[in-house]
């Protein structure tokens, strides 16, 4: 079979058998067809999978490295290679001769430093939110939920009124990879959401609504009023500025803050991994260098000032 046909077969298996999201499948399609376009000049017109050799891989990686000029260059290359490795594993599973997937090594990625807020900074941010308006009550509930539950912004905006049990202070969200995970929130966060809902005079399902008077009804589901990720980002940045916080603060910063607060107060890494919905523990480990209490103990013991 021609390699383009096999790519489509692989994408179908990613969606159906592995249950990946439409966005993931679209990304894989883009990455693999970029591989196909780049390497087509080095192989025959028919382009069969056995023509993918270590030399073809070397040329492909070189072209990626020279052509990809985005800020996330190394990460972008890694995404392309992850898709390629998945495709080669699929071929191997079907008994189709091609390049050994283990030969596709991912580049070393230097992760950006984690930005998070300390608990007192979160308190300062919340203190700037007025509670005498519906918008203020909404914004306070949003920030309390982001910090208390460690939600991704995509998870937050998808919440409906009936998604969240305010009495039990827990609910379930569907995160990356269509995986469900439990969310637990504080009494303060639950109370903020309850206060916001008490001043709502609509029957729309979305938990958080855009209060702009310019919103037009374009469907019957009520989703035309649902806040967008960009809206949540603007809300968080607005109150961070009012609180005098000079760090770059985004909704994801509050998720980072949730994780670091847990670890600083003694939570184990595996539990934090589960609460964040990380599939790989290495993703959660980005927080340990700023939360390891042993490092402070070493510093106090061996480098404390003397009187």
Q: How far apart are the first and last CA of the chain?
A: 78
pLDDT of residue 64: 84
Verify that 68 and 176 share a domain, yes or no: no
Indicate whether 99 belongs to any domain. yes
Tens-digit pLDDT profile for residues 115-166: 899 999 999 999 999 999 999 999 999 999 999 999 999 999 999 999 999 9
Indicate whether 176 belongs to any domain. yes
pLDDT of residue 307: 47
Annotation says 278 is catalytic: yes
Distance CA 227, CA 92 (A): 44
Indicate whether 28 belongs to any domain. yes
Dihedral angle over CA of 148, 151, 153, 155, nearest 10: -130
Residue 33, both tokens = 């067809």
Of 48, 194, 238, 252, the active-site residue reads 252
Query: Diameter of the chain by CA atoms?
Result: 79
Verify that 172 and 288 share a domain, yes or no: yes
Q: Look-up: residue for tokens 């592995």? A: 18
Of 71, 103, 135, which marks where a domain is finished?
A: 103
Verify that 28 and 140 share a domain, yes or no: no
Indicate whether 114 belongs to any domain. no
Verify that 176 and 234 share a domain, yes or no: yes
Residue 123, both tokens = 């308190």
Annotation says 256 is catalytic: no
pLDDT at 13 over 60: yes
Verify that 170 and 281 share a domain, yes or no: yes
Domain extent for 199: 119-295
Verify that 82 and 222 share a domain, yes or no: no
Distance CA 286, CA 269 (A): 11
Annotation says 248 is catalytic: no
Burial class (CB in 10 A: 0-12, 13-18, 19+), 11: buried
Indicate whether 110 belongs to any domain. no
Of 56, 74, 103, which marks where a domain is finished?
A: 103
Tens-digit pLDDT profile for residues 171-223: 999 887 778 899 999 999 999 999 999 999 999 999 999 987 555 544 445 57
Verify that 199 and 246 share a domain, yes or no: yes
Indicate whether 307 belongs to any domain. no
Verify that 131 and 236 share a domain, yes or no: yes
Mean pLDDT of 214-239: 78
Verify that 97 and 243 share a domain, yes or no: no
Alpha helices in the chain (DSSP H): 3-16, 22-39, 54-67, 73-93, 119-127, 134-149, 153-157, 187-198, 229-242, 251-264, 269-276, 281-284, 288-291, 293-303
Write out the H or E segment, with its range, that includes residue 26: helix 22-39
Range name among 49-53, 64-68, 163-167, 205-209 with the lowest pLDDT average: 64-68
Angle at 21 between CA 271 and CA 155, to 5 degrees: 50
Count of the separate structural domains present in the chain:
2
Of 103, 136, 156, which marks where a domain is finished?
A: 103
Mean pLDDT of 50-66: 90
pLDDT of residue 306: 52
Of 80, 152, 226, 256, the active-site residue reads 152
Indicate whether 300 belongs to any domain. no
Verify that 147 and 236 share a domain, yes or no: yes
CATH of the domain at 230: 1.10.443.10
CATH of the domain at 85: 1.10.150
Mean pLDDT of 25-29: 91
Distance CA 68, CA 212 (A): 39
pLDDT at 72 over 60: no
pTM: 0.68
Range name among 74-83, 91-100, 227-236 with the lowest pLDDT average: 74-83
Of 34, 226, 255, 256, the active-site residue reads 255
Distance CA 251, CA 268 (A): 24
Indicate whether 202 belongs to any domain. yes
Verify that 136 and 234 share a domain, yes or no: yes
Nearest to 250 by CA among 240, 262, 260: 240
Verify that 223 and 249 share a domain, yes or no: yes
């Amino acid at each position: 079979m021609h390699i383009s046909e096999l790519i489509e077969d692989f994408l179908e298996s990613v969606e159906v058998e592995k249950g990946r999201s439409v966005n993931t499948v679209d990304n894989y399609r883009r990455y693999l067809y970029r591989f196909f376009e780049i390497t087509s000049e080095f192989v025959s017109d028919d382009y069969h999978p056995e023509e993918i050799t270590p030399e073809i891989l070397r040329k492909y990686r070189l072209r990626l490295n020279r052509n990809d000029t985005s800020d996330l260059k190394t990460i972008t290359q890694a995404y392309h290679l992850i898709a390629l490795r998945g495709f080669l594993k699929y071929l191997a599973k079907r008994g189709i001769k091609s390049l050994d997937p283990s030969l596709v090594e991912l580049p070393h990625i230097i992760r950006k430093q984690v930005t998070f807020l300390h608990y007192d900074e979160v308190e300062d941010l919340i203190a700037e939110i007025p509670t005498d308006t519906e918008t203020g009550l909404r914004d306070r509930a949003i920030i309390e939920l982001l910090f208390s539950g460690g939600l991704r912004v995509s998870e937050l905006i998808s919440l409906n009124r009936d998604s969240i049990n305010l009495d039990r202070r827990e609910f379930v969200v569907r995160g990356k990879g269509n995986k469900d995970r439990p969310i637990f929130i504080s009494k303060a966060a639950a109370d903020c959401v309850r206060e916001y809902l008490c001043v709502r005079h609509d029957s729309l399902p979305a938990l958080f609504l855009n209060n702009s008077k310019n919103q037009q009804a374009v469907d019957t589901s009520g989703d035309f009023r649902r806040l967008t990720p960009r809206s949540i980002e603007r809300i968080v940045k607005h109150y961070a500025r009012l609180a005098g916080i000079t760090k770059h603060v985004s909704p994801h910063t509050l998720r980072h803050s949730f994780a670091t607060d847990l670890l600083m107060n003694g939570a184990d890494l595996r539990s934090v991994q589960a609460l964040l919905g990380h599939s790989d523990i290495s993703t959660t480990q980005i927080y340990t260098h700023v939360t390891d209490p042993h490092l402070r103990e070493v510093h106090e013991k061996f480098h404390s000032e003397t009187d």
